[in-house]
Amino acid sequence: MAVERPLAPGKVKIDDLINEDDRLTKLIYSYLVSATAWLIFGTLVGLYLAIRFIYPDFGVAQWLSFGRLRPIHTNVVFWGWTSLAMIALALYVIPRTSQRPLFSIALARKALYVINASILVGVIYLFMGYNNGGQEYREFIWPAMMLFALGIISHTLNFYKTISLRGTKEIYISNWYILAAFLWTIVVVVIAYIPWYQNALGETVIQGYYMHMGVGMWFTPLVLGLTYYFLPLLLNKPIYSYSLGVLAFWTQMVFYSLIGAHHFVFAPIPWWLQTVAIVFSIGMVITLTAGTGNFLLTMKGSFRKVARSYSLPFILVGVIFYFLASAQGSLEALREFNQYWHFTNYTIAHSHLTMYGFVVFLIWGGIYALLPRLTGKEPSHLLIGIHFWFAFLGLLIYGFALMIGGTMQGKSWIEGLPFIHSVELMIPYWIWRAVGGTFMFTSHIIFAYNLYKMKPLPHPHKQVDLAGEQI
């Protein structure tokens, strides 16, 4: 049985290792290597853009323009880093909780090639100035996104077959979330890229739908499903309440499906549609309370383990930011606050607190919990600590700088001051954003090195049966 790893020098003991099919171990590691490569590239682009806000003349080539690099940054970290990393962890969690080997390792390997090809094609065309109409988070041209959808469909079939052939009577809560994320994402991508009803305001409504469904029905349920596995594993105790998990799941499916229009409050779209989006955004408080409460109550009485673990601090930060960032989103949906914060740098802060503080920290917690048990190798505990603190402090500097600056920015617009005034007042906050971004990017380099140190050990090929015994 896997046990919680203390934050102390030493190697993983042989009896801490998971006796897993080495083909799956190598596949998971390949996904994480690809994901980390996209992380380094995508956040390097983001850091460059942050510096450009301070030094506008730093690199003036056409292919280095903000209009080309910004969508490269967002799409690469979304579809390249975050998506591939979550899929990597799901490749382990689904078979483990189903007590079945993965239905097809070959299919999962082909899906990795297809998704990487999707991102590469999308990035090349963005560098060349070709995009899908400049629509946020769907700037990739449709052939690139079609490849991504093909990869997602492949994984959906793979996971569905694995779960359907499970060796347990019940479907573990993790698999509810993970499979739902894949099914919803297929729907979201299809709706977002069908062109014939996306004219004028129709395109605006679909954009809001796509943008929020991507976050709320892909990243959120998938990473929460992974957390429902890794948190009990690390604490060596069951999740506090299965019922709370089910409540959080169904309210997520209901409320999140109609909140996209809250990005267009006061826009020329039907007032009733804006109101529905606001009401459903507030309804998400039920989901947040149930989900966050479930995780924190599971941790209750075990917080001393956090100080002794190198993976639990990442998960704890992720759980806290899950609540804070999501509650922040519900607050931003209210018209009284929306008029101050919308279209300001505050929204950028919110996006990073959500995707980075919530999703990425939970991913890192899962990686550090799983890989040493799979590969028999673990990185320096000091470097893991440095990775954590650089990422965490960088996020705080980045987030608070843009939240404060964004609020002042919105206030200046309401007061009717010239737009250039809001640009000038943001300069010191953009400097702090670059400082925070430098901390975050440094942590990514350290993480990449840590991942290298967890490279699978060479050993004879083995396969395992459903009980985990070597054949």
Domain boundaries, the chain: 17-171
Whether residue 388 contacts residue 22, with contact meaning beta carbons closer than 8 Å, is answered with no
267-274 average pLDDT score: 86
Would you state the pLDDT for residue 404? 97
Residue type, 171: I
User: Tokens 């992720």 identify what position?
Assistant: 318
What's the mean pLDDT when you consider all of the chain? 89
pLDDT tens, 156-175?
A: 999 999 999 999 888 999 99
pLDDT band at 20 (very low <50, low <70, confident <90, very high): low
Mean predicted confidence (pLDDT) in 125-132:
92
The string of pLDDT tens digits covering residues 64-103 is: 899 999 999 999 999 999 999 999 999 999 999 999 999 9
Q: What mean pLDDT is predicted for residues 392-402?
A: 98
Could you identify the residue written with the tokens 């408080």? 285
pLDDT confidence bin for 402, thresholds 50/70/90: very high
pLDDT, tens digit, 9 for 90 and up, residues 277-320 = 999 999 999 999 999 999 999 999 888 888 889 999 999 999 99
- What average pLDDT does the segment 44-55 reach? 95
Residue 245 has a pLDDT of: 93
Listed range (59-63, 79-83, 309-313, 458-462) with the worst mean pLDDT? 458-462
Q: Which residue has the higher pLDDT, 17 or 332?
A: 332
